[in-house]
Structure 1
Amino acid sequence: MRPPPAPVLNAFGLQDSCPRLLAGGRGTTWHAGNCILKPVDLTEGELCWQAATLAALAPARLRLCTPHLSRHGTYLIEGWAAWTFLPGCHEPGRWDDILQVARELHDALAPLPLPEFLGARRDAWAHADRVAWGEQSIEAYLSIPVVRTLAALRRPVVAPAQLIHGDLTGNVLFLDGNTPAVIDLSLYWRPVAYAAGIVVADALVWEGADERLLTTADEWPDFAQCFVRALLFRIVTDTLRNHGTVNAQPYERAVELACGLVAR
């Protein structure tokens, strides 16, 4: 991945910095000066919404990563955006702490109305989310056994929807002596338990968590059904990003746990 070009660095006041590619971020995220830069498919309107909304939220026990305004008065330059750099790192295994961050973040997000731009999203993640929630057809994915199993587990959800961050697992940063930082806002209009379900799914599938984590998260209303949909969301996303194929083996234990959770 090429670094941000000179006009982008100049626009964000970073012309004297030497960009450094960061691990994670799908290999497209760079640290330069006091900013993080990456190419995005967000609109100027979405970035303006983030800047205004996150600055107004300012939860006491969290640091929030906000978009950085360019010298031109815009947040988007040649397809690149910049965010204020927040020190810290993802620490595998801190799932309970991430779930606590989820509570505090979503308490702050709860009063906000549904942004119009969410309905216009057409990326793989938005499609997979709609499939998981029955808003788009799941038919194309039913050849995958774990998808068939999860689809059969779905029942109506009554917990209210609100703005959530749907990708917290790797996007909560910890640093001794500092409050946790939340980065890479990934917005959906779903029950808060869905955000928790995605964290638990990621922890079980990719980070070796045991089933005790289900007990911790089961406090959220409709958690079992949101966990089922979280697994569907991740599996469908993986399928889309791998050109129609998916290695389902890592998901099998989590799907078995979902079956047990729904059967309670």
Structure 2
Amino acid sequence: MMRKILAWKLIVLSVVFLILSVVGIVAALALNEPLTREGVARLDEVESELRLGEAALDKSHAQIERALGILDSTEAAFNQFTEDDPRAFFADVQTTLNDNLLPELETAQERLITARDTLENLRLLVFGINVAPFVSVNISDEMLTDLIDSADALESQITDVGKLAEQASVLLEDASQLFGGDLDESRASLEGFLADVEEYQAKVKGWREQVENIKNSLPVWMDFATIFLTLFLIWFGLSQVSLFLHGRAILRGENPWEGLRALFLIRERRKG
């Protein structure tokens, strides 16, 4: 009973594995070309992305070189300008603005306010005199009003000029600090960034070459893998045929190892 169960197990397993081997061979042969096309398509996508990345790096490289060129021109202009001690020039102008112009503007504004008040009082005085009977001052109220309005407008303009002078003073202070510094740190940063971009350009170029080599070699690798898998499945299928025959022999009551044992005995006799 146990021999029959073992025999049927061997037969069923051998048939199942034989069918799987045949299916595997057919699948390997059928899927070889589609898988190769799919792999090449994926590699084309990777190469396209790398090409876009390389183009972006090239553009960045050109922009950095352009920035360095602008920096060189700016530095040359700074060097030429600093030969005449620009910080001293800016300091003199700033001192003139702060110590001379702004105080004078404030003084002029105060005097205009005083003059406007005087004109206002004069207008009221003339109005009061003209109200009295038989007394007339030949100064028109319209003329005094125009003078007062002109004084107000001039005061407003002086205030605006004072604000502009203060802004100019701040601007000159910033310019003085700028011309007093150097551009070495900015240059070092740009040159370091440029070196990094060039390094990545070389890496991306190497990656593209690797992808191209893989894409060219992929069909050969797929064919080799298909041939190897097919040969393995053929060998595996043939071994299942042998296993099937062993199961059949056990069902018939035969000893499947008897032939192998007889073969060993014959070899032993020949050696003896």
| TM-score normalised to structure 2 length | 0.15
Q: Which has the higher contact order (CA 8 A, sep 6+)?
A: 2
Larger strand proportion, structure 1 or 2? 1
| TM-score normalised to structure 1 length | 0.16
Larger Rg: 2
Larger helix proportion, structure 1 or 2? 2
